[in-house]
């Protein structure tokens, strides 16, 4: 009889340990992630790309030097763009832990009329400066992810795919109609190995004037 009670006690203890390990502890000690887009210096980045052109094709551009081989003038071509970036934070705290292999996926885009932008394929956002879409995030750490950008030469918003040609060809053909000045709602999801998926809607506004692209925080 004593042996039976002892075996029963061991079984109950094993069940309790399993329950704590698989259900209770993971729901207490877990990553505390926050995804946000703010109109601050980190999340809004005004960039200038420079290209250098040699020869008569750039005669209306600023000349910066002479090609020592061809003796032709070298001109500087500048193109401006504005980028909106998301901030993914893993809050610091006693109950927080490192987020493993986390990534943010852009699932859907809607315009101000609630119309879903099509054609469109969901894709993971790139971590700024890492050139990857998946990474760990330690307790108290945050990182930025490219979401969209605008060019000075066009009144169109571009989702920040790793390669612009990764966007559907039919969408790019009709970009002025599909991605022109408007208010857009981006549906995003955060995935990882050791936490449940987190879903978030982010709104942005593209106007008819370059340099006014921004987040709408309601």
Mean pLDDT of the chain: 82
In a domain, 128, yes or no: yes
Kindly report the CATH number assigned to the domain that includes residue 111: 2.60.40.10
**124-176: pLDDT as tens digits:** 999 998 878 889 999 999 999 999 999 999 999 999 987 655 688 888 888 88
Name which of 166, 104, 90 is nearest 134 in CA terms.
104
Cβ atoms of 146 and 164 within 8 Å: the answer is no
Instruction: Band the pLDDT of 94: cuts 50, 70, 90.
Output: confident
- Please state the rounded mean pLDDT for residues 91-116: 91
Cβ atoms of 155 and 208 within 8 Å: the answer is yes
- Please state the rounded mean pLDDT for residues 40-65: 71
Q: Do both 100 and 20 map to the same domain?
A: no
Q: Do both 148 and 211 map to the same domain?
A: yes
Q: Do both 94 and 196 map to the same domain?
A: yes
In a domain, 72, yes or no: no
Q: Do both 7 and 100 map to the same domain?
A: no
Position 12 pLDDT exceeds 90:
no
**172-190: pLDDT as tens digits:** 888 888 999 999 999 999 9
- Please state the rounded mean pLDDT for residues 6-25: 54
């Amino acid at each position: 009889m004593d042996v039976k009670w002892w075996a029963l006690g061991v079984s109950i203890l094993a069940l309790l340990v399993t329950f704590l390990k698989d259900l209770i502890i993971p729901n207490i000690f877990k990553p505390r992630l926050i995804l946000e887009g703010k109109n601050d210096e980190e999340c809004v980045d005004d960039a200038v790309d420079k290209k250098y052109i040699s020869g008569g094709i750039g005669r209306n551009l600023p000349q910066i030097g002479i090609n020592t081989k061809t003796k032709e003038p070298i001109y500087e071509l500048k193109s401006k763009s504005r980028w909106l970036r998301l901030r993914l934070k893993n809050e610091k705290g006693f109950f927080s832990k490192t987020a493993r292999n986390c990534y943010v996926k852009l699932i859907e885009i809607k315009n101000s009329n609630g119309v879903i932008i099509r054609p469109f394929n969901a894709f993971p956002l790139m971590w700024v400066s890492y050139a990857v879409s998946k990474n760990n995030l330690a307790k108290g750490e945050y990182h930025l992810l490219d979401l969209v950008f605008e060019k000075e030469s066009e009144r169109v918003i571009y989702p920040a795919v790793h390669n612009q040609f990764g966007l559907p060809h039919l969408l790019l053909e009709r970009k002025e109609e599909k991605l022109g000045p408007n208010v857009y709602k981006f549906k995003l999801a955060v995935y990882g190995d050791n936490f449940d998926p987190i879903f978030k809607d982010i709104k942005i506004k593209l106007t008819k004037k370059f340099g006014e692209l921004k987040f709408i925080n309601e």
